[in-house]
Structure 1
Amino acid sequence: MPRRGNRLLVVGLVGAAALTSAMAVAALATGAEPVAAGVVCPNPVDELPAIPAGARIQVERELSALDQQVAEANERLVSTAGQGGPNFAQNAILGPLRDKRAATLERIAIAIGREADRPEGLEQFATCALLGEGEQPAPTTTTTARETTSTTAAPEQEQDDVAARIACPDPTGALPAVPQAARAEVERELANLDRQVEEANERLVSTRGQGGPNFVDNAILGPLESKRAAALDRIEIAIGRVSDQRPGGLESFAECSLG
């Protein structure tokens, strides 16, 4: 899978609240069992381009805010159950949530636009809906598109997706002799690198068939690259703290690929 070398993508693009809500809509649209009442929101991940390094921190922060907003709205939905009239949820929960999401999505567009082409149309992801218990909502455009892509995929492509694994370069050969005083920390960070790849592969399996063409890059490979870059930097710092032979260039081992 081709990727831009200077790209650092978003950590945690899809939080549990937004992802669960989106999956609930998709499940109901395909005739699955109804779920309990909750706020469901469209997922903006597929519409995001590769995130420039200069915008990465702010975009990460705003995407986390979107997840937090949905979680808070669902908490408020539970705590106010039975209150107000028929328009209570719309006026007191969904309306304010839409405004918050619109502002957050605008900040994402601005942050990316400062460094690259500004993404357009993110405002369409601001409006959320209330999924009542037993309700069978009509499929949205996004859900339909995903179902079509999934059901019409060639068998060969499906087999490739199942067998695909994330492969990452091994930095151990580039390390100098690790001083005794740094050994424990370096070993801990090397173990972190292994665990990060395992978690990314688990996520690759659990999210198979979700999202658009940029989903794996944005939601899995990008966050993995950022985590690995941080772990590799901590390795450099640990060695450099007790030795004048601080290794350089370990960041070249941060980027992984889908093999």
Structure 2
Amino acid sequence: MSRSREISRRTKVAITVGVALALFGTGIGVAAAGGESAAPTVDCPTVGDKLSGVPASAQAEVSRNLALLNTQIDEANRRLVTSQGEGGPNFVQNAILGPLKAKRVATIDRIAIAIGRQGTRPQGLESLATCTLSTAGGGGAAEDPEAPAGEPPAEQPPAEQPPAEEPPAAEEPGEQPPAGVGTITCPDVASQLPAVPAGARAEVDRNLAQLETQIAEANARLVSSVGQGGPNFVQNAILGPLEDKRFAAINRIATAIGRIDARPVGLDALAPCTVS
């Protein structure tokens, strides 16, 4: 009789322990599931829905660049995943969001230029270049590459601009980083230009000055980011974005000249820079 009671008692203890362990394991699983959060994604303003009446002749180029905006976001999201744990607290801004903004500035500028060749150049699109990090998952809406079409307007004669008093100044090297850090070297643009029409001189000068500002900013970034990121950090976070900015500025120079005279060709080759 006592042996039967002992077996019964042991059985109850074993069942109680088993149930407790099962409940404990379930609790851990629920807690782990609840602790998972959606991976952060890049969230960018859409551009296509801000366009209206894209001239038929600009449709292909606009659609191509809208698709490129989607590609840039996809690449940035992949970079977010592959760079987990890299860099310091500002790594995502400096190595992903900053370069993405530079690429979007150049791409959006190409869209505006394409429309402006045949119609009225849209204003304010540059404000759509900045992206943010979203922890809600899913990211922002993708661009629709099919830009809204419009009727091509009658060609308008180029607006005359008052000539500037000074000729385009040759580009001067920006402030140099400390010894040992390296210096960004870019091809000179001013010396490669043909005779600049008087009506385009102001815009050309403005963009030549912007090229110098871009180099100075990149050199400052080169100094402040020493030790950040991996082996490709300088290319991905500094030289790549600088090339995109230069491409847009050089394109604006060529467009300004082309409105009045023959558009210079081959200037795009002057966009890439190196560190020496």
TM-score where L is the length of structure 1: 0.44
The answer to which structure has the higher helix fraction is 1
TM-score where L is the length of structure 2: 0.41
Larger radius of gyration, structure 1 or 2? 2
> Comparing both chains, which one has the higher relative contact order based on Cα–Cα distances under 8 Å and sequence gaps of 6 or more?
1
